[in-house]
């Protein structure tokens, strides 16, 4: 997995208070053949899973509303967001994680989900990869 476009990677721990924040410096080979030194702060909070719960009878989706401090800091008046059900993997596989989170967040017990895709949520600053799943459910 090593890249021939990277060398001299140095990592400095900035915080491990809640998750891990590191400062990385490295040399990167540009497409014109020159090496440039770059620096990035990288936040590592682990991977997560989210699910779109689709109510087949009502033809609606089930969402949750949660307070998110970073959005409050960035002009979200009350800090609440309407979101899909989601959570951190916490050493589970994505399917087990989202089954647990669905019961915790919306109170609905599911036993089978379909993985749709996975993506990095904010690859410029975070290591987090989200696994997105889908479940069609009858009326709740």
| Cα gap 41→83, rounded to integer Å | 27
**Domain ranges (residues) in the chain:** 6-44, 48-136
pLDDT value at residue 57: 87
C-alpha separations of 114 from 12, 39, 51, 80, 98 in Å: 39, 38, 9, 28, 11
pLDDT in tens, 76-112: 999 999 999 999 999 899 999 999 999 999 998 998 8
The token pair at 63 is: 């969402």
Binding positions for Mg(2+):
86, 101, 105
pLDDT value at residue 1: 63
Q: Is CATH 3.90.79.10 what the domain over 48-136 is classified as, yes or no? A: yes
Binding positions:
86, 101, 105
pLDDT value at residue 55: 87
| Cα gap 136→67, rounded to integer Å | 26
Q: What is the pTM of this model?
A: 0.86
Backbone torsion region of residue 28, taken as left when φ is above 0, otherwise alpha when ψ lies between -120 and 50, otherwise beta:
beta
For the chain, 140 residues long, give each residue's pLDDT as a single digit of tens. Answer: 678 999 999 999 999 999 999 999 999 999 999 999 999 999 999 999 999 999 888 899 999 999 999 999 999 999 999 999 999 999 899 999 999 999 999 998 998 899 999 999 999 999 999 999 999 876 54
């Amino acid at each position: 997995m090593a890249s021939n476009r990277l060398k001299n990677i140095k990592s400095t721990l900035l915080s491990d208070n809640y998750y891990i924040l590191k400062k990385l410096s490295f040399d990167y080979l540009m497409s014109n053949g020159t090496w440039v030194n770059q620096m990035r702060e990288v936040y590592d909070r682990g991977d997560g899973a989210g699910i779109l719960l689709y109510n087949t009878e009502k033809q609606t989706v089930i969402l949750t509303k949660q307070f998110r401090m970073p959005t409050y800091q960035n002009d979200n008046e009350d800090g609440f967001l309407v979101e899909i059900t989601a959570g951190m993997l916490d050493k589970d596989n994505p399917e087990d994680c989202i089954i647990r989170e669905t019961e915790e967040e919306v109170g609905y017990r599911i036993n089978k989900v379909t993985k749709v895709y996975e993506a990095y949520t904010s690859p410029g600053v975070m290591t987090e990869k989200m696994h997105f799943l889908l479940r069609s459910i009858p009326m709740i």
